[in-house]
Copies of this chain bind each other. A is one copy, B any other.
Amino acid sequence: MAISSHSSVDGLPVAWYNLAADLPQPAPPMFEPSRDEPLRPSSLAAFMPAALAEQEFSTQRWIDIPPEVLEAYRSWRPTPLVRAVRLEKYLRTPARIYFKDESRSPPGSHKLNTAVAQAYYARQQGLQRLVTESGAGQWGCSLAMACSMFGLSCKVFMVNLSCQQRPYRRTLIRLWGGEVIASPSLQTAVGRRLLSRDQDYKGSIGIAIAEAVENALGEAGAAYGCGSVYNYAMLHQTVIGLEAAEQLAALDEKPDVIIGCIGGGSNFAGLAFPFVSQRLAGQPIRFLAAEPRACPTLTRGRYRYDHTDAAGLTPRVKMHTLGHTYVPRDIYACGLRYHGCAPLVSHLVNLGVVEAVALSESAALKAAQLLAATEGIIAAPESAYAVRAAINEAVRCRKQQSSECIVFCLSGHGLCDMEAYGAYLSKQSKTVAEKPSLVDLLRWSKLGYT
């Protein structure tokens, strides 16, 4: 089986796993932004580091992780695979719930996995700057930190709504030496056009991508850094699933359900893809992508060709999409407010390998509150959707008395996103009780914890 043929050192994979090598049928090709021609690597290399443009088209199964990237990974990887024993007890489920804790990186999420790779390749190529978008700020923080590690400057077009909702992330990006521009901005033609219509435009990830790409195209020595959607971003994230596979094997566990929240798709893909190869080899593993009802790309979007940015500057890819001009309504999980979904994940949904489920924000935050009370971990508002989906599966297991192994990706922590929880608790205390007490909710003594 593909997944067992790679090697690792002290639990850290030394190569990324490329799902493209094992797909029963290849993903549909990408097309040039404004011509009906298959995309050429050189078109991508015009605004991205060349090594990434090459990886985008690769069908090689294993791609070596450069030693410099491995060295950087070593400072926080391998991340732990945690068994949520107290959550299981609380839910009285016969299921075993594990989460892969990607919140352990300095910026607090999985995004650093691809950020260090991108900064490394950019540096190798002699570039001086990476320009990017950021939804929740997790990606912006990660790329800023990675750029500072590899001696590059970093510019982040951060969705205006996120700038307001997540001031801590804005400060963090600056602390790591990055420059933050609220998007839409006056720095790009795209931004100026939108601001001329509405000065307080809240923005979207698609618009921020368009601004970053436009900015990178217009500046010598600069390239665009992309935190998700593209194949190479999925590729770099497979360290998550490769580590998890080794960790589960060490526990003599075989996963029944693999879960991730989904926006662009990278944390989900990172955990899932190495296991997809097991499924394709015959193992009965289910894959569950949890998306917000407020941006139901996989459950309500159409599977068709569309641009990855809002302005049509980027290649057209076949994906589930709500349309590249779609602006999702405000939710705290800014990182999931994206109109499309990674072509590789969309392809798997289309093939029936991956199931999608849309969840409400309040259900997600409630699940995160329960995780905090039982396991102590504060999930990012994005990861909260994965927590909810995992809890729903565990409750199903209780009803069916099915002893399954559930693994979800905790893509990041929410310690810098307390606005979401503050608002949630205030709402809860108004509707439920004056002072919300989780202690009343918990039944530790009955569970024999102490």
Contacts and interface: CB of A to CB of B under 8 A. Distances in A.
Interface residues of A, number: 54
Contacts of A45: none
Contact of A168 (B104, B168, B174, B444): B168
B442 A171 contact: no
B148 A442 contact: yes
A111 to B, nearest CB: 13
Interface string A350-373: 000000000000000000010011
A284 interface: no
A75 interface: yes
Given A120-B450, A378-B106, A421 B373 contact: no
A445 interface: yes
B415 A75 contact: no
A167 interface: yes
A64 interface: no
A166 to B, nearest CB: 10
Interface stretch (A18-26, A290-298, A309-317, A431-439): A431-439
Interface in A206-235: none
A442 B174 contact: no
A416 interface: yes
Interface string A367-402: 001001101111000000000000000000000000
Given A416-B415, A450-B68, A150 B444 contact: yes
B174 A436 contact: yes
A450 B175 contact: no
A418 interface: yes
B437 A177 contact: yes
Interface string A149-166: 111111000000000000
A151 B450 contact: yes
Contacts of A174: 425, 436
A205 interface: no
A438 B173 CA distance: 11
Contact of A376 (B106, B171, B442): B106
A384 B179 CA distance: 23
A142 to B, nearest CB: 10
A75 B371 CA distance: 14
A104 to B, nearest CB: 8
A107 interface: yes
Contacts of A16: none
A258 interface: no
Contacts of A192: none
A123 B450 contact: yes
A108 interface: yes
Interface string A136-151: 0000000001011111
A172 interface: yes
A282 interface: no
B171 A425 contact: yes
Interface centre among A151, A376, A437, A445, by most chain B C-beta atoms within 10 angstroms, is A376
A376 B177 contact: no
A191 B108 CA distance: 38
Nearest to A76: B376
B450 A415 contact: no
A176 interface: yes
Interface in A53-86: 68, 75, 82, 86
A108 B436 contact: no
B378 A177 contact: no
28 contacts: A68-B450, A75-B375, A86-B149, A104-B104, A106-B378, A108-B415, A148-B373, A148-B442, A149-B449, A153-B439, A167-B418, A168-B422, A171-B418, A171-B425, A172-B415, A172-B421, A174-B436, A175-B369, A175-B378, A175-B425, A176-B372, A176-B373, A176-B438, A177-B437, A177-B438, A177-B441, A177-B442, A413-B415
A-B interface, 7 closest residue pairs, ranked by CB to CB distance from nearest: A177-B438, A151-B444, A106-B376, A168-B418, A171-B422, A171-B418, A415-B415
